[in-house]
Amino acid sequence: MLVEPMASAETTSNQNPADSQFFRNPAKQKLTLCLLLVAATLALYSPITRAPFLNYDDALHVADNPHVRTGLTWSTVIWAFRSSETADWHPITWLSHALDCQLFGLSPEGPHTVNLLLHAINAALLFLILASATQLLWRSFAVAALFALHPINVESVAWISERKDVLSTFFFFLALAAYGWYARRPGLARYLTVTAAYALALMSKAQVITFPFALLLLDYWPLHRLAPADAAAANRGHTDAQAKSFLGLLWEKAPWLALSAASAIITMKVEAAATQARLPFSLRLANASAAYVKYLEKAFWPVHLAPIYPHPGASINIAAAIASAAALIAISIFALVFRRHRPFFVGWFWFLGTLVPMIGLIQISVHSMADRYAYIPLLGIFVIVCWGAADLAARWRVPKWAPLAASAAVLLALALLLSRQIAFWSDDVTLWTHTLSITERNYTAEDNLAGALIAEGKIDEAMSHVRRALSFAPDDAMATLNLSTYDQMRGNYQAALSGYSRIPLISRNASLIEQARINSGYAHMSLKQYENAQKDFAAILQSQPANAAAYRGLALAKQRGGDLAAAIRNYQQAAQFEPSALNYLLLAQALEQAGQTEAARAAQSQAATLAPNLADDQAIAHRLLTE
């Protein structure tokens, strides 16, 4: 493999005396720098392992997901490949969450640690891939260090639900490494290795569908597999034995392009079912232009980072969007004109291209951008910065200590910002309070802060955030559900029922609809409308025949309506699907009431086995039976 012509500014370990003083063996240099990357990443990110599950998607992905909680079983494997829950198809990510539960139970420390290990391994893989492809050790290390320590990547690591980011990137990097292996000596086995790694990446998260596009860029630099169009270029040494035409390289990637197309179709199909409203394409295009520039801004000034940036919708600043588009076009033209500066050309179009699936041209969510989307794309900017700085330092004959001092200062600043950003992810209240302080009209953050305050028992304080969310988004299903629940708690059952009835009309979120129907059933029971309550719970069971909460609610409605035999059958179903102390206590009470004393004692004994201290469960059971 040929080295970039500019490489003379940075010699290899066998040529540079300073390098030979570090370690004479290049393999030892790589190993030492890998260990340094991993150690720094683990040390700086270590506080995140003490964080809890977040109240934003972590329950859906892990904590309250019955399939994941059962661990790595054959039924879980089948479900993972069939499931489109959370509007995603990512079976490998589901299986990784199930493996966490198998190994660590429901402790959040385990999945946090796995996320962190994957990020540290990703940084090491990135370094090894770049160093192998370019033979430029220190520039490659600088790119990997920026990736490892940049605060914008905290979201991908600290959020358990974003396992799909770090996991898909792990397989993406393995596929890149395999491609470099294949490019050196093409063969079927090596080609299939690339294909397998890429398929695993796609099944972890579809964000990597631009992989074939990325490979075409790498063919240009640093792999130099693209044959020049003219003989003069060939005489300049820009080819090797494996050089091909552009069409040849494109044809080579046809199977991977087919995988990308299949993944895109599956992703759009499952996400279309969850997306409620569609913005006009003109607004999506304007937001995309502005978002590209904001990502660049955060790459160089990583402050005011938040898990959710609300989409401005019709209030978007059109002038700013046009200016952003003009800047992007101008830089792209510059990169094309000066494409012989290959690291700049590849880095820029890597950034533009790998962000396309997440930039919002195809609407898959209601936010304008997300830090997690930059996990792979910003690598292009890091390459531009590191290669550009090194080339300028060599051209201007800057003393060797100056770039080292500047690099150390930048990495130290990033480490400090990283530690500060990690602290915001320590708990729900801290995260959402910070998010609201740096964003505007953020109804999702208002909802999540309200949920966190409700969990702490601060109901009235939470309701102020619920009302603010509804003032920003009157059709906000989460806020509507929370406000209706609050009305129900205060005895305003008709107002609560009115709110619950709106949820299926304004949301396609199955979890919210389920909770609204369960709450509606209990509200009907409070009004002694037992037939209506039964209809609510039965509606859930039509689509979710294994829903223990619905069986419990249906049993309570039957029992209050006087159908004790049906109540017992439904309590038994609830205990079968969710063998909890509460379900067995309710079953025992119904059996006792029916005169089945021995069976009641057996159910009571089973409850005691599941929870030796039954006081809390007995209080809940008493409340359910008497309210």
* Domain boundary, last residue among 424, 442, 457: 424
pLDDT at position 229, please? 55
* Domain boundary, last residue among 395, 424, 453: 424
Structure tokens at 451: 């949920």
Contact assessment for residue 9 and residue 138, using Cβ atoms and an 8 Å cutoff? no
Structure tokens at 417: 């910002």
pLDDT at position 274, please? 54
Phi, psi (rounded to 5 degrees) for 226? -90, 115
pLDDT at position 244, please? 86
Question: What pLDDT band is residue 237 in, cutting at 50, 70 and 90?
Answer: very low
| The pLDDT of residue 89 is above 90 | yes
Is residue 507, in this structure, part of any structural domain at all?
Answer: no
Is residue 271, in this structure, part of any structural domain at all?
Answer: yes
Domain ranges, residue 300: 5-52+108-424
Count structural domains, the chain.
2
Tell me the per-residue pLDDT of 466-512, one tens digit each, with 9 for 90 and over. 999 999 999 999 999 999 999 999 999 999 999 999 999 998 888 89
Q: Please enumerate, as own/partner, the contacts of 548-551 that have beta carbons within 8 Å and a separation of 24 or more.
A: 548/573, 548/574, 548/575, 548/577, 548/578, 548/580, 548/583, 549/518, 549/574, 549/578, 550/514, 550/517, 550/518, 551/577
Classify residue 373 by its DSSP letter. Answer: G
Tell me the per-residue pLDDT of 321-347, one tens digit each, with 9 for 90 and over. 999 999 999 999 999 999 999 999 999
pLDDT at position 277, please? 56
Is residue 619, in this structure, part of any structural domain at all?
Answer: yes
Percentage of the chain beyond pLDDT 70 is 93
**Residue 258 in 3-state DSSP?**
helix
187 phi-psi bin (left φ>0, alpha ψ -120 to 50, beta other): beta
> Whole-angstrom distance between the N-terminal and C-terminal Cα of the chain?
76
| The pLDDT of residue 4 is above 50 | no
Is residue 38, in this structure, part of any structural domain at all?
Answer: yes
Tell me the per-residue pLDDT of 577-621, one tens digit each, with 9 for 90 and over. 988 999 999 999 999 999 999 999 999 999 998 887 888 888 998
With a CB cutoff of 8 Å and minimum separation 6, the contacts of 85 are: 60, 65, 510
pLDDT at position 235, please? 42
Of 434, 435, 427, 412, nearest to 44 by C-alpha is 412
Question: What pLDDT band is residue 263 in, cutting at 50, 70 and 90?
Answer: very high
pLDDT at position 24, please? 67
Is residue 610, in this structure, part of any structural domain at all?
Answer: yes
User: Which has the higher per-residue pLDDT, 453 or 578?
Assistant: 453
Of 55-59, 236-240, 485-489, 509-513, which range is least confident? 236-240
Contact assessment for residue 9 and residue 394, using Cβ atoms and an 8 Å cutoff? yes
Whether residue 612 is preceded by a cis peptide bond, meaning omega within 30 degrees of 0, is: no
User: Which has the higher per-residue pLDDT, 183 or 610?
Assistant: 183
Is residue 614, in this structure, part of any structural domain at all?
Answer: yes
Largest Cα separation within the chain, whole Å, is 98
Measured between alpha carbons, how far is 308 from 534 in angstroms, rounded to an integer? 38
Measured between alpha carbons, how far is 327 from 348 in angstroms, rounded to an integer? 13
Structure tokens at 109: 């420390």
pLDDT at position 23, please? 55
Q: What is the enclosing helix (H) or strand (E) of 367?
A: strand 367-369
Tell me the per-residue pLDDT of 64-86, one tens digit each, with 9 for 90 and over. 888 899 899 999 999 999 988 87
Is residue 201, in this structure, part of any structural domain at all?
Answer: yes
Measured between alpha carbons, how far is 292 from 334 in angstroms, rounded to an integer? 17
Is residue 10, in this structure, part of any structural domain at all?
Answer: yes
* Mean pLDDT of the region 358-376: 88
* Domain boundary, last residue among 365, 396, 424: 424
**Residue entry with tokens 């990446």:** 201
Dihedral sign, Cα of residue 358, residue 361, residue 364, residue 370: positive
Tell me the per-residue pLDDT of 522-559, one tens digit each, with 9 for 90 and over. 999 999 999 999 999 999 999 888 899 999 999 999 99
Of 18-22, 282-286, 435-439, 601-605, which range is least confident? 18-22
Mean pLDDT, the chain, rounded, equals 91
| The pLDDT of residue 266 is above 50 | yes
pLDDT at position 227, please? 78
